[in-house]
């Protein structure tokens, strides 16, 4: 069994809870420790039950609560060497306290196997994570500038895929964002659009993914409805029936999303 629940998702903070029913991990801690603890308590999980923390990259919306959470639990913190360096530059108290892992490396947490993979984003060394039990798999992949064949290979085959659907191209084009920021978002080390996410979602569903969670939705350049509609339409046009062949969820900004369970 794998349980996955976005505790928060978006440019204002990201954190995802994953469990096999025995061990519990967090992917990112980009909201306050108080909020993380509160959201976990609603899932009947105490913060002291956290067995490991994995960080995708050092941007503040992924590490805001990391120091306080690390003080409340003895759970080891894992990240790429580049991310560990970036966190140390931002949070001096965590310098040297993060365990470095490389893309392709697998960390065992109880019966969970967590494998890191590279993601293209404008950081030192961002990564996504593939979490597996003997029979189930979940993947968390946000803050992605593009999806090449190598990255796609790490996304396919998951039972549950939490995938970035950051912006609507038209909304971004006419937004008040300055040109340099628009260029950063659409560049190869920025974020995924709804259309790009939809293309990956179709390939994932064709490979057997049963649950797709759309995450990291921009408040300024997207809406949950736009993201959902884009992916729903692409799936339908490919002959995949949302709600039958695959369940489609949207991770809300600023609050906990749905708990998705596979293999119960």
| CATH code of the domain containing 243 | 3.60.15.10
13, part of any domain: yes
Please give the Cα distance from 5 to 20 (Å, whole number): 12
Q: How many domains does the chain have?
A: 1
Q: Is the pLDDT of residue 189 over 80?
A: yes
pLDDT of 240 over the 80 cut = yes
- Bridge partners, 163 (sequence order): 141, 214
Domain that holds residue 135: 2-256
Q: Is residue 263 part of a domain?
A: no
The average pLDDT across 218-227 equals 97
> Residue 225: inside a domain, yes or no?
yes
Q: Tell me, yes or no, whether 44 lies in a domain.
A: yes
Residue 213 lies in a domain: yes
- Paired sense of beta strands 2-8 and 15-19, if any: antiparallel
Question: Is residue 262 in some structural domain?
Answer: no
C-beta separation of 16 from 7 below 8 A = yes
How much of the chain exceeds pLDDT 70, in percent?
100
**Domain assignment present for 194:** yes
pLDDT at 239 over 80: yes
The mean per-residue pLDDT over the stretch 125-140 comes to 97
Reduced to 3 states, what is the DSSP secondary structure of residue 170?
Answer: helix
Q: Within a domain: residue 33?
A: yes
pLDDT-derived band at 264 (thresholds 50, 70, 90) equals confident
Q: What is the pLDDT of residue 253?
A: 87
Which residues, including other chains, have CB under 8 Å from residue 78's CB and lie 6 or more apart? 52, 53, 54, 55, 98, 99, 100, 101, 107, 114, 116
């Amino acid at each position: 069994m794998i349980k996955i629940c976005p505790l928060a998702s978006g440019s204002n903070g990201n954190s995802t809870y994953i469990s096999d029913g025995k061990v519990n991990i967090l992917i990112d801690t980009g909201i306050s420790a108080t909020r993380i603890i509160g959201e976990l308590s609603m899932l009947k999980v105490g913060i002291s039950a956290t067995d490991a923390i994995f960080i995708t990259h050092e941007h503040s919306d992924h590490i805001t609560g990391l120091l306080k959470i690390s003080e409340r639990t003895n759970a080891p913190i894992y990240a790429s060497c580049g991310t560990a360096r970036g966190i140390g530059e931002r949070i001096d108290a965590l310098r040297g306290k993060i365990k470095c892992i490389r893309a392709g490396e697998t960390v065992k947490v109880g019966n969970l196997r967590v494998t890191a993979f590279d993601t293209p984003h404008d950081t030192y060394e961002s990564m996504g994570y593939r979490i597996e039990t003997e029979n189930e798999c979940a993947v968390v992949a946000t803050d992605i500038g593009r999806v090449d064949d190598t990255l796609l290979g790490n996304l396919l085959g998951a039972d549950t895929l939490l995938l970035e659907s950051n912006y609507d191209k038209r909304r971004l084009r006419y937004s008040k964002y300055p040109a340099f920021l628009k260029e950063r978002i659409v560049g190869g080390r920025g974020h995924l659009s709804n259309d790009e996410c939809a293309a990956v979602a179709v390939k994932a569903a064709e490979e057997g993914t049963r649950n797709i969670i759309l995450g990291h939705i921009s408040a300024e350049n997207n809406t949950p409805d736009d993201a959902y509609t884009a992916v729903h339409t692409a799936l339908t046009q490919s002959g995949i029936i949302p709600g039958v062949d695959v369940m489609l969820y949207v991770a809300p900004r600023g609050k906990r999303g749905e708990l998705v369970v596979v293999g119960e």
